[in-house]
Structure formats: structure tokens, C-alpha cells
Amino acid sequence: MEFTSFVTRGTLERALHEKAGAQHKNTKEQQQQQESNHKQPDISNFDDEDEDTRYVNDDSESSAASTPLPQRHHFGIPPIPLHHLRSSGHGRLYVDPLPPTFEPESGCQGVVESMDDTTPSSPRNLATGIMWEVSEEKDNESSELGDDALPLTTYIEHNFPQELQATMSRILHEVQIHHVFPDSKEFVDMPLKHDPHIICEHWDSMIAELRGATTSPGDGADAQPALTLTRDHLVQFVSDNFAPPGSDAEVCSTFDDFVPEPALLDKIPDPEFKKWAYALHHLWPVFGRRTHPDVAKHPERYTLFPQKHTYLVPGGRFREFYYWDSFWIVKGLLLCELHQTARGIIENMVDMLDKFGFIPNGSRSYYLNRSQPPLLCEMVMHYYQHTKDDKFIRQVLPSLEKEYKFWMSTKDKTGGHGVKITLTDGSTQIMNRFSVNATEPRPESYREDLQLVLDLGLQTKEEIHAIYGDIAAACESGWDFTCRWFLDFYNLNTLHVRDLLPVDLNSIMFKYEKNLSFFWTEIMNDKARAAPYNKSAEKRKQAMRELMWDAEDSQWFDYNWKLKAKKKIIASSNFYPLWAGCFDEDQSGPSVSELAKGQLLGQGGLSGTVLYTHQQWDYPNGWPPIQWFIVEGLRNVNSSDSLKLAEDLAITWLYNSFAGFEYSVGKMYEKYDVRVWGFRGFGGEYEPQDGFGWSNGVCFAFLEHYGHKLVSKTYSEMRQLDSVGYFHEIKSSFMITTGDMRHILRRMNKQMTQCLKPDMPGPFSMTPSFIAHTPTGEETGVFYSVHLGKGMDLRLCRVERRHTKPLRTTIFDKSPDFSALHNHSLSPKISPASPSLSEYDPLASPRAGNSPTVGRTDKPSQNTNPSLKVAKKVIPINKDLITGSGEVLFDFIAKSLRGFLEENGDLAAYEEDNSNNKDNNSNNNNTTPAEPMPVAFVFGFPVQQTSLSSARLTKWTKGFSARGVEGECLTDLLNKAFEKENLAKVVYANSVVNDTICVLVNRLFQDPDCIMSAIIGTGTNLAYYERLRSCKKLEKSYRDLCTYPRMIVNMEWAGFGDHKDVIPKTKFDVLVDQASSNPGEHTFEKMTSGPYLGELCRYILLYLMERKAVRKIKQLEKPRTLTIDNMARMIEDSSKELSDIKVLLKESFGFESLRRERKHFRRAASVVLERAGRLFAAGIGAVAMRRGVVEHATVAVDGSVVERTRLVYFRAVQRALKEIFGTNVHVRVVYTKDSVGTGAALVAGLEAAHSKQSQQQQQEEEEEW
């Protein structure tokens, strides 16, 4: 199948245009479509007069849809243009930040971080209920509390009387946006300790007390001062008024019908797998719950619904039962002979169905606006097949019909779950979709949804309601979230769940109709009542063939009923009609063959889709329900090929689950990574959960049919062959996806803008260098530099630059350019998932014909400029000098420079020139004295700089503590030392710079396209040319007088990621951080540079030793025993036997290694460096995009890490840049070896030439005046 045969570009652009702009227009066609949707379903025995029982308080005349916007915009959100966003990163719904230019309307409250300097800087506006940044938890975050009305969530309306709803909404809002709990679900699961009116009184009392504390003397009696509400206040309030989550239910120690050893265990002859199945069976009571008696007595205090019978929760954070999870739990209970418990769960659901008119997503009041895939009827069918209980069928059949009617309705507020479709023969059929009437944030994801709306920049109430509705509809589907629901497969702003008729839902509805027909025919003996269901099922089958079946691709696809087009994405759900029996003979064979091709199949099972989007229902995650639907579908086809494939898939999943249980010492996961055995999946809006109810149920379903085929010896042999499996968990945790890089890039750009302003907190220093001029080619002569702060050495450099042709200057001054990123994401090249594990080798050379064209890297550049003559010298510094008198230290620098001048003949040449000048003057030739040579001071310590030549040390670091230097001007100290050494007429210090800036200037003299430089050594930093008008840390008068449009800015980016969960961290990062001298600081540096990379590699190897994948090496338990040089040798060893690694391990640790162990050493070094390179690519991409030069720019790089590992490092950068921007980007990464001293000397020459030019210009102006 060709992946390019998906939705066409024209269709996509048309749909995106409609989504972004045309949705505000209520055209006649839309009105006609709405009227069409409100017609009766095509089943004669049903009417829709009471269908709206789904919605609590639905009889109210007012609704959110008709409520006008408040004066200060909905939820206080200023109008922001729609823009593209993305979904990625470790389970969160990520969106791209705001477009580069944004100015709030006059009078709008609230602040949004943006890349435009005009944007206000306050991080939040709690008065109107929006928190702009929510991921950072602060100990004492505060806000001003306003009185604006907040949206009433479903559970607020359900639980509390009208007079308390506003206050309870405020409590919910403040607790959630202040990040009192890391998981938003935590708070809404907490029972109230008191009656709601008492809670509200406590709140009002606290607010009144805070207002009184902030009232100033002289305020009028009616004054309402803004109060400061901090997180500490809320933590105390919650502790006083709310009980812990989970206290609303009691854990069951056992069940009344529990059978210690069900007959199913006898079908498993292998003792190891039988022991495992026994353990799973005895986990059932662990998930069992009974609602606390007080829940029924005081329901207003709880979000949990009281239940008559015992129920089972999925596990982990899920403390209530869930609708479709319960199907596989019931299936497992029935197989384990817990018939009474299974029936109780079904009766609990029937009770909620009778009460609410539908079964909520879960058994809490905040789920009252949505359901989940309607599997109740199938649940009842499975119960009947196990018990033959006709009486129970008669009891629940009216309720089943009620639920069917709910799902077939076309007349609720959002158009209903039913959509009437006209087929080619002119007949009509109601098909089904997921559709939710949600106009507010999900209470259990409140903070995340508010942030999402903000980041999307939605302007109108209709847009906000639409995104909330589609998010809730995705949750109703159970597949929250997946590329199936995104119009362009990747971006959340194209979420369009309600526009789709999903294959899986319509398969379930087909089975629902067939089951109802069976119950009426076989149990009730009423064929007349069965006929409409049977007729609708056959008509649905016809419609699915016409709308969804694709003969060329041999599978069904979701159907966009608005665009009238199939949505061609390969997904497991495409094959659910096989399970439902909704297929013809000419469909079953080809679809089985298509499945057998293995596009969805990994080593550990079937993934949700083939696309790697970092949404949790996409590749590489495999979910138990998916495996069950597909295996049962293949069994249903009942051909030799399908039965063999079903057996292979089931046994694969059982081995995968068993491996996870074995690795984790007794845990079952909610989802698994199908690329390998035994590892849990990742992604989602919450941390991956252990448990897990449906995982156990699916395993029992497979054990029933295939338990006799499990052999532990075969499993062990297969595990031994899976040597990559040991390392897979580590590799997955270190993976930085394309979405992650784009998110990092955007966040970095926003924070750069913030940090360019004075007195603004942030991760970057963004210090102006006062180098605003660029080389012209006229800078000739001899220049010097002295470098203090790199180790315990003084580094001296002499540069002689001869005259060359003028240099062109092409530093771009474009606006921030996001088009490359957007265009690339809007027209994705659909490709199957990500590389397999065997292909995921950062050391692999680019294949022939596929060599990357982006991120080109040059060979090392060292003194390759023919116009330069360079000499260098390194002089050790005595320890007494760095801790003694500052005057002595600077005298030592001056003496050292004198010796260097003498060695290079410059002192003698200067004296000779002056002598000749004196002779000429005596002969009345009027020659001027020889000019002194400029010296740049590379100073590797914190300074406060007010000009290029004026910088004061703020604090010694790195073990230096020389007295009398802190607070002093460094050039003054150095020039005084020169004067004492009789060098004042020979040399003079004219600039103070740092090493990163020197790398940039050095490259500028060779390549005028160089706009940034980076150092990646023992630490890391970046410098680049920024627009002068953006450098708000400079005095306005300076900016007004400066004639240059740009200036080099020193970022100091080591601390990026310190205070926000921007960069995904691994447990190894945590260990490195905890063992460092500055825990919690310099996050970016610890992931990309120097000794930290060696430590990351060392911790990975220690972890592998614990797993017994590598034998123990005691020396590696000591810190700093693995260096970047060791890692370089590991990754450079490409021999079959990895012989160089073998020698390295023998020489360094006395370790006689096996080949498989050496492979782990090489892999550990590779994944650490691969991630470092991808993070670096995101950083330089942020600057290139900010300057609008992603299509043409040079980056100069120096430092020990790239010197030793540049082959792997630069390849990682190449791949990453290509992923971020596509093939149109040409960012040239150049390694400039040991260029700091040379660059510093050139800074001195550049500044001297600039000063001379300025003096000449001033003299000419004076003469002209």
C-alpha cells in the first residue's frame, strides 16, 4: 500500500481552511445539514422524544451555546490568531506557542508569552481564570483573585445547588491552575469533609481574611482590594476541607464467588505460565472496590457514584470503573468463574443507564457529558453465553434498547451520535460517530485544557466550544489520543472527531444490532421486534462497504461524512468488522492477507496505527483491546490462514505480557511497547499505569484458547535471541522525537524574547556583548588575546592579519520565520512509524542515495584562513596566584605577555619602529609613533559589562579567589599591570569577551554567513547576532544612537529546562543531577556536554548490570570513571568483534568482555550522544528560525565533545534538522578547532579598527563643522 494515497493536499487545505475560518459562518448548507440530522432514525419502533436524558439539567432554557461572551473575552483569553500546533511529548497534548507577533487588544487582561517585544510579561491572569504557564510548580505562587464568572462544569452542576455553584467553580479553578496537585484528576477525586455549604463558607472566610489583610489604611468602606492568593493558601484549604482521593471506596479482600483455582488453569500445562495465570487470577480482588456507605448517604460530597454491587477499577490513578474497560474485566471474570461478580458489574452499569439515559465514561459525575464505546450489549451476550441466564436477558433488554436509542439519536445539541447518510441507491442509513456536548474544560484535565485553549489562540466562544467538544469526543472514543482524529494526522488544531464515522464504532453498533436481534428472536421469541435491528444491521453493512471499504488496500477506513472521503490511515481499528461479522467473502480473505503483511505488527504485538506521533494510541504502543478485537476477528473468519495468524498474534501478546510481568516483578501494564517484549508503552495525558484490569482480561481470553501452546523453554530461547530487548527501555526513554524538538525550539524562542528584557526571570542571561559591528576586511595588523578561566592555565594568542579583499556581510535581518516548520508539518510525508530497533543506529552511515542535504558539516577549521598568521602559548598558573593577591595575578599575566611578545619579536619590532620614527622626526619627517597592539581579555568568570572595554568581575568561581578583583574593571587592572611592566605603549586591553563570542568572530572573518557559535565541552553556551531593537537590556539611548542593526548576544543557555518540564528527562538524568554540585540547575548542559555525558553513560551501564545484561564492573561504581574520550572510542569502533572496545575495557577496568556486553557499551554511548545532538539541533534551530535564516546559515562549533565525537554528533544534528524543518533547510555546522584565542585576538583587532574609524569620522565631522 502506498502511504501517499491518503487525503489529498487539496482536500486537506480545503478542510483546514474550513476549520480555521469558515466555521463562524452559519451558511444555508450548514443549516440544511443540521435540519437533516434532526430527522427520525430509520427504525419504526423507536421515537426520539426523550432522548436528551443524557444531559443533566437539560431542561434549562439557557445553555452555554447561547450565552454571550463576557466583556473580557471568554475565560479572559485575549484574541489571538489561529496558528498551527502539534501533538507530542510524553503523553501531553502539545501545541506550538503563539505566532511571532501578538499584541493584546486594548483593555484585554491577561498576558501571553510571545516572541514580540511588545508583549507584556506577567505570567498569568487569574482574575479572568487563565494561567498562561502551568507546568512549573512553585512553592508560593500567588495571584490576584477577581470576581469573573467561571464556566460551570458538568459535575459542578450535578453535585451542588445553584447558589453554591459559582463558589465551587472558583475553588476548582484556583486549585487546578495553582498546580496544587501534579495530576488534575487528583483533586476532583477528593471527597468533601463537610457539606458543600460549609466548604463554601470556609472559602468565603479565607477570602475575606485575605482581602482584609490587603486593605490599606484610608480605603473606603466599599473598597474591594485585589487579594493575593498563593498556592500555600490553597494547599492548606484543601487539607482542611477535602479527604484523600480513594477514601470514597473500600478495597475488597475477596469476592463471595471467588474460586481459588478456576478450571481455566488446567488448560495451561507449562508450570511457569500456569503460575503466572494463577497470580493474575488472584489479582482480581486487588482491583475490587465497594463504595463507602457515606457516598449513598451524602452524594453531594462525592464525585463517585454509589454502586449497589462490587466493581473493579482498572488500576493506577483510575479509582472508579470505566465503561469499556469493564468489558474485558467482565470477560476475564467470567473465564475465572466469577459469574456473580461479573453480573454485579453489569447491573451497576444498567443502573446508571436507567438513571442517566446512557452509561457515562466512568463512574464519576465529571464524566456525565460523555460515554464510551457501547459494549454493554456485548457484555451481556458474553454473560449469557457463560450462564444461559434467560431471566437476566429479559431483565436488562429494555435498558439495552434504551442505550441503543441513545447512540442512534440524531437530535441532541451537537447533532447526536447518529448521522443520516444517503447511499448511492437512494436509501438512507443512520451511521454512528463520537459526539460530545462539551463547552468547558474537563474537570479531570482542567489545567491542561485551559492551557490548550490559550496556546491555540482561539478567538470566539464557538471556537473554544468546538475544541472542547472534539477533545471530549476523542475521550469518548477510548482512543485519546491518536492521529486518526487529526485531519492532517499530526496537528491538534485539525482535531475533527465529530466529522468522522469510525470503523470501530460502527462495527460495535453492527454487533449491537445483531445481538438485540438475537435476544428478541431466541430469548423473547419475538421476530417482529427483532426485524428492525436485523434490517438496520444489514443496511449498516451495506453502508460500511460503500463508504469505508477500500478494495485496493483491502481494509476499511474511517469516513469523513463532511468531506465525503475516506481517511486513509493504516490502523488496527480498520479490521474490526472481522470481529463484528460485518463482512462478505470477498472482503475477509484480502483483509486477512493485508493484516498478515505486518505493517501494524511489532515484535510484541499490534500497534494502534503505523504513524509515530507520540500520541498514546499510535505506534509503537499496543493495547490489549486492539489485540483482542483482531484475534477474535481472525478466529471469526475461520480460515486456515486467519486461524494461524490469530494463534501467532495471541501467543506473541501472551509472551509480551509475561515478559513485562517477569521484568517488573508482578505488574501488568495498561499498554505495551510492541517493538520489543516486556516494556510498557508511553505517552498519554498521564504517566503509564500499572494494573491493569483489561490487560488481565485479555490474557485470560487468550489463555482460554492458546494456553496449552505456551512453552517456557521456547519463551526463554526467544528472549535470549532478543539481545536488543535489554536495551530497549533505555533507548525509548532517551528518545527525543520530532515533536519534542519542535516544542523545545518554540519554548526556547519564547524564553529568549523574555530574557532579552531587563529584570525578567528566565533560563538565559542574554547578555549584550557590545560587539555590534562586523568585519569589513580592513582589520589588519597584529592583535593579541589572553585567556583566563579555562583550567589552571593562562592561554596567550597572537594573530597577524594581512590585508585581503573586503568581506561581504550577509547577516540576515528577517523576522522570525516559522513557515518552514509549518509548511513541513502541514504536508507530512507519511511513512511507516519510526525505524525498527535494528535500523535505529545513530552510528549507521547514510545509505547510498539518501545522504542528508541539511546540516552540512565541514572538516575541522584550524588556521585555514590564508590571511592569518597565528601563534599560541599555554602557561600553567601556580595555585598560590589564584588564591592570593589580584595585583600579583595580573602582574603575572603582564609578565607572561611580555615574554610572549619577545618570543614573537613584536617587542623588538615595536622598539625598532619607534627608534626609526624618532630618527625621522629629527629629520623633520613628522612621523607618528608606532601604535600599540590591542589585546582582548577572554575572561571565563561572571561579569557585569557596560561596554566592550568595561566589565567588572561579580564573583570568582572555579576555585579562583584572588583578592581585590571582584567589583573592579578588568581592563583597568590589566592596563595597570601593562604599565608596571613598561608595556603600556606596546599593548593595551580594549575588550573583555567570553569564549563563545570569540568562536563566532573567528568564523566571521572566514564566512560572513555565520550567525551563531556554540561551545560544547566541559560546559555549553551559544552566542548569536540579535536585532539591536530587541536587546532591551541596553539603555534606550544606546540603542537610539547605535548605527548598527544587530549585536552579538551571549545566551548562557546551560540552564534551559531548569524550571519547566520542557525537555523529557530520564531516570539517569535525575541521578546525574542529584550527584552534581548544582542539583536542579543547568539542565540543558547536563544533557549535552562534557563529563555529564560520561556520567549518563556510566549510570546506564550500572542499570544494565543490575539487569544482568552486563556483568559487574566495580570500577564503574566510582563517579567520573567514564569519560568522553572513552565514549568516543566506543562509538568509533565499527569492527565486527568491537575489538577496540575490548581493549579499552581491558586497559581501563581490567574487564574481559563478551561481544554482547561490548555492544551494550557502544549502544549506551550512542543513545547519549544521539540525544545530545538532537537537543543541540533544536537549540540552533531556534536561533536560525528566530533570525529567519533556516534556508541559509552557518554555525561555528568548538569544544572537546564535538572534537572527539563530531562524526556521530554531527550526524545526529543533520538528521534532527531535517526532521524539524524538512529538506529546504541548509544550516551549515562547522567545527572550528581551538578557535577561542584566535577569535579573541580578532575581536581586539575588530574593536581597534572600529575605534579608529569612529575617530576619523568624528575628526572629519569636526573639520566639516
**How buried is residue 664: exposed, middle or buried, by Cβ count under 10 Å (0-12/13-18/19+)?**
middle
Strand positions, DSSP E, 247-366: 249-251, 288-291, 311-312
Catalytic residue among 186, 189, 670, 1133: 670
State how far the Cα of 889 lies from the Cα of 954, in Å rounded to an integer: 17
Per-residue burial over 905-932, b if 16 or more Cβ lie within 10 Å, else e, is ebbeebeeeeeebeeeeeeeeeeeebeb
* Strands 500-501 and 558-560, bridge-based pairing: antiparallel
CA distances from 1024 to 256, 693, 997, 1193, 1195 (A): 71, 54, 8, 11, 9
CA distances from 463 to 414, 471, 777, 780 (A): 14, 12, 56, 62
Torsion of CA 521, 523, 525, 526, to 10 degrees: -60
Nearest Cα neighbor of 946 from 773, 769, 753, 756 is 769
**Dihedral of alpha carbons 443, 448, 452, 453, sign:** positive
State how far the Cα of 1057 lies from the Cα of 1179, in Å rounded to an integer: 12
State how far the Cα of 770 lies from the Cα of 747, in Å rounded to an integer: 26
Q: Where are the alpha helices (DSSP H) in 664-737?
A: 693-706, 712-721, 725-733
Contact 1048, 769 (CB under 8 A): yes
Q: Which helix (H) or strand (E) holds 234?
A: helix 231-241
State how far the Cα of 1093 lies from the Cα of 1086, in Å rounded to an integer: 7
Peptide bond into 1056 cis (omega under 30): no
CA atoms within 13 A on the CB side of 102: 29
Q: Which helix (H) or strand (E) holds 186?
A: helix 184-188
Helix, strand, or coil here: 419?
strand
Contact 310, 678 (CB under 8 A): no
670 is catalytic: yes
Contact 804, 1002 (CB under 8 A): no
Contact 389, 413 (CB under 8 A): no
858 is catalytic: no
Nearest Cα neighbor of 832 from 683, 619, 684, 614 is 619
User: At CA 834, angle to CA 830 and CA 835, rounded to 5?
Assistant: 125
DSSP conformational letter for 69: P
Catalytic residue among 320, 470, 480, 488: 480
DSSP conformational letter for 709: G
State how far the Cα of 1165 lies from the Cα of 1094, in Å rounded to an integer: 8
Nearest Cα neighbor of 705 from 1002, 277, 267 is 267
Bridge partners, 495 (sequence order): 486
State how far the Cα of 1024 lies from the Cα of 1050, in Å rounded to an integer: 7
* Strands 857-858 and 950-953, bridge-based pairing: unpaired
State how far the Cα of 631 lies from the Cα of 649, in Å rounded to an integer: 7
State how far the Cα of 513 lies from the Cα of 531, in Å rounded to an integer: 10
DSSP conformational letter for 502: -
Q: Which residues are designated catalytic? A: 480, 670
